Structure 1
Amino acid sequence: MTTVTLHATGPVSPAEAWERYARPARWPQWAPQITGVEVPGPRLAAGVSGRVRGPVGVTLPFVVESVDEAARQWAWTVSAGPVRLHLLHWVADGPDGGSTTGLRISGPAPVVVGYAPLAQLAIGRLVRPLDQRSAGQPV
């Protein structure tokens, strides 16, 4: 088991960054590895299970373990057969305004190390305005 912690800071407000997490339908807007999400409701809640869709139609089941709206923190477990990744996400005030988001990924070392660069790209996009991401601006 390996754990990696990632951070990204950008100009999007903490409230907006949190809403981008809290509403799974918005995940494809900022996470390039996600093309769709199947969940029973519009907002994250502890105990919710669903499926996240990635490139070439791959879908993976997940379960939301916890959600703390006040702390802007949530955790989920994503499965791929016997492999499980546990992901803990949070949003805080940025050091100079905007927001900082963090992600702690735990799971088998090859999967965690392989996923970390894509996760870093995604959380960098999470804290950037939509127009900067679509216009090819640096994330």
Structure 2
Amino acid sequence: MRLRAAGRAEPEDVWLRYADPRRWPGWSPQIRAVHADRERLSAGMSGEVVSVFGVTAVFVVESVDDARWHWVWRVAVGPVRLRLSHRVLRRPGGSATELVVEGPAVALAAYAAPARWALGRLVRG
């Protein structure tokens, strides 16, 4: 599944919203809290994302490219495994973000609407 959102936020600001997991609940309304072993997004970082519904997902960050504003992580909720690839792009008047999610079709269908909402908030100026 590939999702994209565009907005007025500067791409550097969008990247900083990704790079600090403590900020994720501010733009991703389905996230209540993030508990990570590091304060800044980096390869090998691991932790848990707690949803507003109390569901906890464990994660490991696979790669981070600060220069290209791109990062990839693996997330598990019980037996469901997802691989998410995020990218921030510069565009006239602001930025865009792209998310590619790999996983079971049922999980992708359930995740699509909240992910679209969060991405729109991420790039909002």
Normalised to the residue count of structure 2, the TM-score between the two structures is 0.97
Identity %: 50
The residue correspondences of 1:58-137 to structure 2 (distance < 5 A) are 58-94=55-91, 96-129=92-125
In the alignment, which residue of structure 1 is the partner of 2:30?
33
CA distance in 2, matches of 1:81, 1:40: 20
Backbone CA RMSD of aligned residues:
0.8
CA distance in 1, matches of 2:29, 2:51: 9
In the alignment, which residue of structure 2 is the partner of 1:51?
48
Q: Which has the higher strand share?
A: 2
Structure 1 gap ranges (5+): 130-139
Q: Secondary structure at the residue paired with 2:124?
A: coil
Q: Once the 2 structures are TM-superposed, how far is the Cα of residue 41 of structure 1 from its aligned partner? A: 1.7
In the alignment, which residue of structure 2 is the partner of 1:15?
12
Q: Secondary structure at the residue paired with 1:64?
A: strand
Q: Once the 2 structures are TM-superposed, how far is the Cα of residue 51 of structure 1 from its aligned partner? A: 0.2
Q: Once the 2 structures are TM-superposed, how far is the Cα of residue 57 of structure 1 from its aligned partner? A: 2.1
Q: Once the 2 structures are TM-superposed, how far is the Cα of residue 120 of structure 1 from its aligned partner? A: 0.5
Letter in 2 for 1:87: L
Q: Once the 2 structures are TM-superposed, how far is the Cα of residue 56 of structure 1 from its aligned partner? A: 3.0
Q: Secondary structure at the residue paired with 1:84?
A: strand
**May I ask how many residue pairs the two structures share in their alignment?**
125
